[in-house]
């Protein structure tokens, strides 16, 4: 390419420099007369889109039981690896989380966990007010995450469909399940 | 064997030509060529039955044929010029529909399924392209059974592939897992709830392609496969050295699964290997160090370095010649070697009693004789006649019992091959051969679980066993005239002789549990005689006492043992100290108490407390087999490396403590060559170099596994999977800032998820995974060919093959047992789940340890006036033991069998012995 070295070129560079600065100043100054984008939080709450993703909760199924079955899918889907949990099982064979921990200082609120969850247990809410003075306080345990209601998908109950027998639901009592096979029957 | 077996044929898969081995089937060929073809009912070790219809491919008549026809790959032998297509629409749609039908009744419970994330059914479903359930009907459900503490049952998930029963009954000889019901209502379980009795039941969780049979112990504190930090390991529970993959999460060992080794364990391990890991998580584990200064009555805890410092002071004070070391057949070669270097060869003794010492030198001598070859477990499966003398294999070398069971089918395979039925055609082979089995002659002191496949079972007392073995050996040589044997035994010898007459590949198996050096020798004589008769090398295999008996034997060729040490200490005039490595003296020999009394200091390095550590004045805690690295030499002389799975509990490696000790002693001015060399070791590789410098059998020590400097593309081999989760959260409750990953300077494995999951050398495969293959079935991507060696070659090195014949060490003759008035000869009855202290800490195995009784032959019992169910008192010297009596017609006459229980008052190490036996009179209440 041919190198431009003439006087005209230098004038152009100087003009270009001043021009962009002047434009910037004018634009900034003109904002003095427009409506402010910021709101006076916290007196005034901002608008949140319906699918805004904030603080994560663990929900309960329609009967009030913990929905999370400790399958670990959310943890494996999480790009920041900030979820960890341990499975435990009650007498009846129902799986649940012995502990469930989210390190919100790492969470990027991407919602991958919610997407991966097969039981609708883990859900992102609209709460974004997670500021803390101590970073350690950003680590939430199960008791901090668990809420009382079902959140989204209020009617879904995983164990209703799973085929596993758990307390209150015998084998074959779930949706779309046949009575347990009677092995001693010779009927066709 | 079929002449064409080793020939190659050319087949065309989707238009490309491939060379494959003749004699195999198409599925095997395709998988061997790294093609993805779904399957369920075929298993590489169980063969084909063609029942699941999942492996359908399109077969074409010739190059012109455009339509072709569908065949099941697993049932179709490969043939020269064969043209097939895996991607042909008809076949691939068929496979998809097949899965769809299978899934119509499959529950919706992957999230709560132990198989989830490593499920062959999930993998095959994805592979075949089925994604959406269209069937709107109800799903079938089944009740589950309680199958005991080890195996769980969730029958809804069954896809009726029949793999479970084919493994459990046909392969492992179990009889309590059956298929029940009829038509499409079949049920895989027991006739009624109850613990599965097979010692191989745990394999069901790997054999079953779904989550019907799952590992209950894993489920108790469940972790998905992708979250396990794993390392290749070697089983520490018996002398066979099965390869294991061990997984950890948050400082707890979570599970053990089989790790394929084509020559050793293949696809299966026993339940002790699988469930016997709880000792590592036990809260009884020792922590750091305890020291009891002279004159004090209590031990005080201190950190490891202080403890070691105290030991170094002892060593300096007493002088090197007064410090002794006792190695262990349960500790690695490197640990034993470090101790030997520290105390010097002359002061090093093996942690076993006199009988075991003699056996050890006998074993080494026999196995290095020029005409004797000791086969691997895989080779044992090729034997066409087997004599087992004095070993209840299922309890002392369980995986070998499984190999013997396979070998017994060789007659059938040969018969089928004669009419052109290949071995993998499972059903036709069985139908054609019915129940004809190759001769297996089992000579034991009572009935064993191999009796069902044995052509001849003889139950004899130890002395008769020797007579029988000797007689049979000379009979095979044609030099036996029947003198000196009872008529009955004579008849048995003639019967055995007839059975062994046509054998081409005979094998003799014996072992250490008889505690009879004579038997070890006679087994070798018999093997040599049979070898000469068949015109081939003599095949001989010994089941040894512990995981590293062979390694310790090689380090300690003069076979110095604990009883020798006791004698030497008696004669010692200066105060002395003993460093004991992972051994409980009190379970080994009745000399233990006397030995301890002759010591000024007793130092114990161990992971768990024991009677010995109670007596010790210094106890140094050390890492378990899952927390350190080392090498075991198995019963065939194969050196195999295990690696630490995690180091989160902070127990130092025993070998490292010993090198620290060497450094401290050197600094205190004590400089023997071996100590200085040991002191110069800072890493595990340094120690391996030292071991290999000993030359001889150890010359190739550095080839056992890649050294710590090994890298793939500049990276270490990762212990974690690439989708391990929770890195920023697992320990966030303690500290929200993540700690640095620990470094591992001692091996080529990293505590990390970074690195390549493929192309790993065989000794460094933590767990198997391949894209689209999340279950252990992924092993087909790691093998050179199905059932063949791994792509990186076989891990480990066989040490005895090139070894010159080792002479018999000069050892004191063990005095024969004389029976006093009213006494009876007692011997041990091994029980797989109870014989040692390590497995006694696994609650699942403990629950399966039921048979705790003394056993007698009815005639013997009648003479002694005892009946079945009596409570009897067994007395040996000062020790007494009360236990119930079982009268059992299979027990040899005049022999009392006592269960081998860790912490039983009379330990296996004290037997055989003359004991007195009396009934405990029941108090009437
Ligand atoms: S929102 Fe994203 S980053 Fe946060 S926990 Fe869920 S998956 Fe992890
Ligand atoms: S994915 Fe859902 S059910 Fe599974 S562990 Fe996470 S929250 Fe629980
Ligand atoms: S067997 Fe496999 S497909 Fe079936 S529920 Fe378990 S993980 Fe899912
Ligand atoms: S239980 Fe498992 S192995 Fe047995 S038939 Fe069913 S799916 Fe196959
Ligand atoms: S694998 Fe071929 S039919 Fe099942």
Most confident of B399-408, B459-468, B642-651, B820-829: B399-408
Do residue B143 and residue A171 have CB atoms under 8 angstroms apart?
Answer: yes
Question: B126 alpha carbon to ligand 3 midpoint, in Å?
Answer: 12
pLDDT of residue B2 exceeding 70, the answer is no
From B51, B98, B121, B128, the mutation candidate for ligand 5 (largest count of ligand atoms within 8 A of CB) is B51
CB-based contacts of A67: which residues, under 8 Å, 6+ apart? Answer: A58, A59, A60, A61, A119, A120, A121, A150, A157, A158
Which percentage of chain B shows pLDDT scores above 70? 99
Each domain of chain A, given as residue ranges in start order, spans 1-34, 56-162
pLDDT of residue B759 exceeding 90, the answer is no
Q: Where are the beta strands (DSSP E) in B135-174?
A: 139-141, 151-153
pLDDT at B4 (0 to 100): 45
pLDDT tens column, A95-109: 999 999 999 999 999
Dihedral sign for Cα atoms in the order B847, B853, B857, B858: negative
Which of ligand 4's atoms lies nearest the C-alpha of B121? 7
User: Quick one: which ligand is closest to B163's CA?
Assistant: 4
Which of ligand 5's atoms lies nearest the C-alpha of B74? 2
Does B227 reach chain A within 8 Å, measured CB to CB? yes
* CA dist., res. B518 & res. A42, Å (int): 91
Which percentage of chain A shows pLDDT scores above 90? 70
Q: Assess contact for B795 and B782: CB atoms under 8 A.
A: no
Average pLDDT on B128-151 reads 93
Residues in chain B: 925
pLDDT band at B924 (very low <50, low <70, confident <90, very high): very low
pLDDT band at B593 (very low <50, low <70, confident <90, very high): confident
Average pLDDT on A24-34 reads 90
Q: Locate CATH 3.40.228 in chain B.
A: 371-525
pLDDT band at B296 (very low <50, low <70, confident <90, very high): confident
Average pLDDT on B665-686 reads 90
Smallest Cα–Cα separation from B747: which of B758, B730, B760, B759?
B760
* pTM recorded for the entire structure: 0.93
Asked if the B823-919 domain carries CATH number 3.40.50.720, the reply is no
pLDDT of residue B925 exceeding 50, the answer is no
pLDDT of residue B903 exceeding 90, the answer is no
Average pLDDT on B819-824 reads 86
Question: B164 alpha carbon to ligand 4 midpoint, in Å?
Answer: 5
B553 token code pair: 């034997």
User: Which single residue is written with the structure tokens 């470090």?
Assistant: B338
Smallest Cα–Cα separation from B261: which of B633, B790, B701?
B790
Question: B54 alpha carbon to ligand 5 midpoint, in Å?
Answer: 5
pLDDT tens column, B545-569: 999 999 999 999 988 999 899 999 9
**Ligand 3 pocket check for B119: Cβ under 6 Å:** yes
How far separated are the first and last CA of chain A, in Å rounded?
88
CA dihedral A45, A51, A57, A61 (to 10 degrees): 130
pLDDT of residue B293 exceeding 80, the answer is yes
Smallest Cα–Cα separation from B59: which of B101, B30, B20?
B30
How far separated are the first and last CA of chain B, in Å rounded?
70
Q: Which is more confident, A40 or B9?
A: B9
* Residues in chain A within 8 Å Cβ distance of B107: 162-164
Most confident of B184-188, B328-332, B648-652, B895-899: B328-332
CB-based contacts of A10: which residues, under 8 Å, 6+ apart? Answer: none
Question: B180 alpha carbon to ligand 3 midpoint, in Å?
Answer: 22
| Atom 3 in ligand 3: residue holding the nearest Cα | B122
* Residues in chain B within 8 Å Cβ distance of A112: none
Average pLDDT on A37-62 reads 91
pLDDT of residue B575 exceeding 90, the answer is yes
Q: Assess contact for B276 and B237: CB atoms under 8 A.
A: yes
Do residue A181 and residue B116 have CB atoms under 8 angstroms apart?
Answer: no
Smallest Cα–Cα separation from B766: which of B777, B757, B778, B754?
B757
* Residues in chain A within 8 Å Cβ distance of B140: 178, 181
* CA dist., res. B550 & res. B698, Å (int): 12
Q: Assess contact for B23 and B422: CB atoms under 8 A.
A: yes
Helix H or strand E segment including B730:
none
Q: Locate CATH 3.10.20.740 in chain B.
A: 8-103
Smallest Cα–Cα separation from B337: which of B588, B686, B622?
B686
Smallest Cα–Cα separation from B397: which of B147, B216, B199?
B199
Does B187 reach chain A within 8 Å, measured CB to CB? yes
From A101, A121, A145, A159, the mutation candidate for ligand 2 (largest count of ligand atoms within 8 A of CB) is A121
Give ipTM to 2 decimals. 0.91
Pairing between strand B456-459 and B879-887?
Answer: unpaired
Dihedral sign for Cα atoms in the order B906, B910, B913, B914: negative
Q: Which CATH number fits the domain B371-525, given the four candidates 3.30.390, 1.10.287, 2.40.50, 3.40.228?
A: 3.40.228
pLDDT of residue B806 exceeding 80, the answer is yes
* Residues in chain B within 8 Å Cβ distance of A82: 726, 728-729, 732
CATH tag, A56-162 = 3.30.70.3270
* CA dist., res. A48 & res. A38, Å (int): 13
Does B881 reach chain A within 8 Å, measured CB to CB? no
pLDDT tens column, B620-673: 999 999 999 999 999 999 999 999 999 888 899 999 999 999 999 999 887 788
Pairing between strand B618-621 and B213-215?
Answer: unpaired
pLDDT tens column, B852-878: 889 999 999 999 889 998 899 998 878
Q: Which is more confident, B900 or B556?
A: B556
Q: Assess contact for B757 and B718: CB atoms under 8 A.
A: yes
CATH tag, B8-103 = 3.10.20.740
Average pLDDT on B288-314 reads 91
Question: B110 alpha carbon to ligand 3 midpoint, in Å?
Answer: 5
Average pLDDT on B344-349 reads 94
pLDDT of residue B368 exceeding 90, the answer is yes
Partner residues linked to B456 by β-bridges: B441
Average pLDDT on B277-287 reads 92
B780 token code pair: 């087909």
pLDDT of residue B288 exceeding 80, the answer is yes
Q: Locate CATH 2.40.40.20 in chain B.
A: 823-919
CB-based contacts of B105: which residues, under 8 Å, 6+ apart? Answer: B139, B140
Q: State the average pLDDT for chain B.
A: 92
CA A77 vs CA A117, B111, B241, B714, B723: distances in Å? 9, 14, 38, 28, 9
pLDDT at B833 (0 to 100): 86
Dihedral sign for Cα atoms in the order B312, B314, B320, B326: negative
Residues in chain A: 188
The 3-state DSSP class for residue B29 equals helix
Does B181 reach chain A within 8 Å, measured CB to CB? yes
Q: By mean pLDDT, which of A168-182, B188-202, B836-850 is the weakest?
A: B836-850
The 3-state DSSP class for residue B281 equals helix
The 3-state DSSP class for residue A89 equals strand
- d(CA B106, nearest CA chain A) in Å: 9
CA B647 vs CA B294, B622, B653: distances in Å? 33, 11, 10
Q: By mean pLDDT, which of B18-22, B370-374, B827-831 is the weakest?
A: B827-831
Average pLDDT on B607-622 reads 93
pLDDT at A3 (0 to 100): 65
* CA dist., res. A51 & res. A109, Å (int): 12
pLDDT at A43 (0 to 100): 92
The number of C-alpha atoms within 13 Å of A140 and in the hemisphere containing its C-beta is 19
Q: Assess contact for B179 and B132: CB atoms under 8 A.
A: no
Q: Return phi, psi of residue B194, to 5°.
A: 155, 160
DSSP B735-768: -SSPPPPPP-SSSSEESSS-S-SSS--GGG-SS-
Average pLDDT on B836-864 reads 86
Question: B736 alpha carbon to ligand 2 midpoint, in Å?
Answer: 22
pLDDT of residue B255 exceeding 50, the answer is yes
Does B215 reach chain A within 8 Å, measured CB to CB? no
Q: Where are the beta strands (DSSP E) in B304-403?
A: 323-327, 348-350, 372-373, 385-389
CB-based contacts of B183: which residues, under 8 Å, 6+ apart? Answer: A188
* CA dist., res. B333 & res. B702, Å (int): 13
Smallest Cα–Cα separation from B92: which of B23, B37, B141, B46?
B37
pLDDT band at B152 (very low <50, low <70, confident <90, very high): very high
Q: Assess contact for B768 and B261: CB atoms under 8 A.
A: no
* Residues in chain A within 8 Å Cβ distance of B111: 69, 71, 73, 95, 118-119, 158, 162
pLDDT of residue B389 exceeding 90, the answer is yes
CB-based contacts of B724: which residues, under 8 Å, 6+ apart? Answer: A81, B226, B227, B229, B753
pLDDT tens column, B204-228: 999 999 999 999 999 999 999 999 9
Q: Assess contact for B216 and B843: CB atoms under 8 A.
A: no
Which percentage of chain B shows pLDDT scores above 90? 77
pLDDT of residue B1 exceeding 70, the answer is no
């Amino acid at each position: 390419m041919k190198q431009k070295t003439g006087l005209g070129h230098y004038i152009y560079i100087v003009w270009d420099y001043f021009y962009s600065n002047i434009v910037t100043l004018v634009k900034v100054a003109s904002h003095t007369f427009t409506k402010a984008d910021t709101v006076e939080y916290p007196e005034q709450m901002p608008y949140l889109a319906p699918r805004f993703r904030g603080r994560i909760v663990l929900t309960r199924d329609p009967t009030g039981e913990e929905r999370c079955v400790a399958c670990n899918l959310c943890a494996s889907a999480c790009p920041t690896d900030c979820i960890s949990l341990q499975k435990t099982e009650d007498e009846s064979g129902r799986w649940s989380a012995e502990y469930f921990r989210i390190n919100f200082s790492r969470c990027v609120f991407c919602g991958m966990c919610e997407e991966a969850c097969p039981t609708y247990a883990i859900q992102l809410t609209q709460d974004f007010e997670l500021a803390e003075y101590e970073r350690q306080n950003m680590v939430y345990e199960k008791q901090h995450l668990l809420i009382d209601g079902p959140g989204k998908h209020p009617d879904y109950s995983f164990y209703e469909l799973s085929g596993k027998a758990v307390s209150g639901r015998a084998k074959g009592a779930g949706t779309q399940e046949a009575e347990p096979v009677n092995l001693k029957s010779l009927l066709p | 064997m079929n002449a064409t077996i080793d020939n190659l044929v050319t087949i065309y898969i989707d238009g490309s030509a491939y060379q494959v081995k003749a004699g195999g089937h198409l599925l095997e060929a395709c998988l061997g060529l790294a093609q993805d073809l779904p399957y369920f009912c075929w298993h590489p070790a169980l063969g084909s039955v063609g029942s699941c219809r999942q492996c359908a491919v399109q077969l074409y008549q010739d190059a012109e044929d455009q339509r072709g026809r569908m065949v099941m790959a697993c049932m179709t032998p490969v043939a020269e010029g064969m043209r097939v297509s895996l991607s042909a629409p008809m076949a691939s749609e068929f496979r998809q529909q097949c899965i769809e039908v299978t899934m119509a009744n499959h529950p919706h419970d992957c999230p709560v399924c132990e198989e989830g994330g490593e499920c062959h059914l999930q993998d095959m479903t994805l592979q075949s392209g089925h994604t959406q359930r269209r069937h709107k009907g109800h799903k079938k459900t089944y009740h589950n059974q309680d199958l005991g503490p080890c195996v769980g049952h969730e029958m809804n998930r069954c896809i009726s592939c029949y793999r479970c029963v084919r493994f459990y009954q046909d392969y492992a000889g179990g009889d309590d897992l059956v298929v029940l019901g009829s038509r499409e209502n079949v049920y895989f379980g027991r006739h009624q709830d109850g613990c599965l009795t097979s010692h191989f039941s745990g394999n069901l969780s790997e054999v079953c392609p779904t989550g019907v049979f799952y590992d209950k112990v894993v489920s108790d504190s469940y972790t998905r496969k992708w979250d396990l930090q794993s390392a290749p390991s070697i089983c520490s529970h018996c002398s066979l050295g099965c390869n294991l993959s061990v997984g950890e999460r948050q400082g707890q060992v979570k599970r053990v699964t089989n790790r394929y080794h084509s020559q050793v364990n293949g696809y299966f391990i026993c339940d002790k290997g699988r469930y016997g890991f709880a000792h590592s998580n036990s809260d009884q584990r020792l922590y750091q160090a305890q020291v009891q200064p002279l004159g004090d009555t209590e031990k005080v805890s201190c950190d490891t370095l202080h403890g070691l410092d105290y030991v170094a002071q002892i060593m300096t004070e007493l002088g090197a010649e007064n410090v002794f070391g006792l190695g262990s057949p349960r500790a690695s070669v490197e640990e034993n070697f470090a101790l030997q270097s520290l105390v010097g060869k002359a002061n090093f003794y093996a942690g076993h009693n006199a009988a075991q010492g003699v056996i050890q030198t006998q074993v080494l001598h026999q196995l290095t004789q020029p005409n004797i070859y000791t086969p691997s477990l895989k080779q044992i499966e090729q034997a066409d006649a087997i004599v087992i003398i004095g070993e209840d294999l299922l309890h002392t070398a369980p995986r070998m019992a499984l190999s013997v069971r396979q070998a017994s089918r060789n007659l059938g395979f040969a018969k089928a091959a004669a009419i052109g039925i290949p071995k993998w055609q499972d059903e036709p082979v069985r139908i054609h051969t019915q129940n004809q089995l190759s001769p297996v002659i089992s000579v034991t002191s009572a009935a064993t679980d191999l009796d069902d496949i044995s052509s001849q079972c003889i139950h004899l007392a130890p002395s008769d066993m020797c007579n029988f073995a000797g007689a049979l050996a000379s009979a095979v040589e044609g030099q036996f005239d029947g003198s000196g044997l009872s008529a009955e035994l004579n008849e048995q010898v003639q019967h055995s002789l007839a059975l062994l007459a046509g054998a081409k590949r005979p094998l003799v198996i014996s072992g250490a549990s008889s505690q009879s050096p004579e038997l070890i020798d006679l087994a070798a004589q018999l093997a040599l005689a049979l070898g000469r008769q068949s015109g081939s090398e003599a095949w001989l295999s010994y089941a040894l006492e512990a995981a590293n008996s062979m390694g310790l034997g090689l380090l300690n060729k003069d076979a110095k043992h604990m009883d020798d040490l006791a004698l030497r200490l008696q004669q010692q005039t200066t105060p002395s100290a003993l460093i004991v490595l992972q051994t409980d003296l009190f379970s080994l020999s009745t000399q233990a108490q006397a030995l301890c009394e002759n010591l000024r200091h007793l130092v114990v390095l161990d992971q768990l407390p024991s009677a010995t550590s109670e007596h010790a004045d210094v106890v140094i805690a050390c890492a378990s087999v899952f927390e350190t690295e080392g090498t075991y030499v198995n019963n065939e002389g194969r050196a195999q490396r295990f690696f630490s799975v995690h180091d989160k509990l902070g127990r130092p490696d025993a070998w490292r403590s010993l090198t620290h000790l060497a450094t401290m002693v050197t600094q205190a001015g004590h400089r023997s060559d071996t100590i200085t060399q040991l002191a110069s070791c800072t890493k595990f590789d340094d120690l391996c170099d030292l071991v290999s410098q000993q030359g001889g059998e150890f010359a190739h020590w550095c080839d056992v596994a890649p050294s710590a400097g090994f890298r793939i593309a500049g990276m270490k081999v990762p212990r974690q999977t690439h989708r391990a989760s929770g890195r920023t959260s697992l320990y966030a409750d303690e500290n929200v800032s993540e700690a640095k990953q620990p470094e591992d300077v001692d091996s080529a494995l990293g505590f990390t998820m970074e690195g390549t999951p493929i192309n790993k050398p065989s000794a460094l495969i933590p767990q198997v995974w391949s894209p689209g293959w999340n279950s252990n079935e992924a092993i087909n991507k790691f093998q050179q060919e199905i059932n063949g060696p791994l792509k990186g070659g076989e891990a480990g090195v066989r040490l005895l093959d090139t070894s010159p014949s080792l002479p018999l060490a000069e050892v004191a003759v063990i005095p024969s047992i004389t029976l006093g008035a009213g006494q009876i000869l007692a011997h041990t009855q091994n029980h797989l789940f109870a014989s040692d202290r390590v497995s006694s800490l696994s609650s699942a195995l403990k629950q399966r340890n039921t048979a705790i009784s003394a056993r007698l032959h009815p005639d013997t019992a009648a003479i002694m006036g005892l009946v079945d169910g009596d409570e009897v008192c067994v007395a040996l010297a000062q020790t007494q033991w009360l236990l119930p009596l079982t009268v059992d017609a299979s027990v040899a006459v005049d022999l009392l069998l006592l269960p081998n229980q860790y912490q039983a008052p009379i330990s296996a190490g004290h037997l055989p012995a003359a004991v007195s036996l009396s009934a405990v009179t029941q108090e009437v209440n």
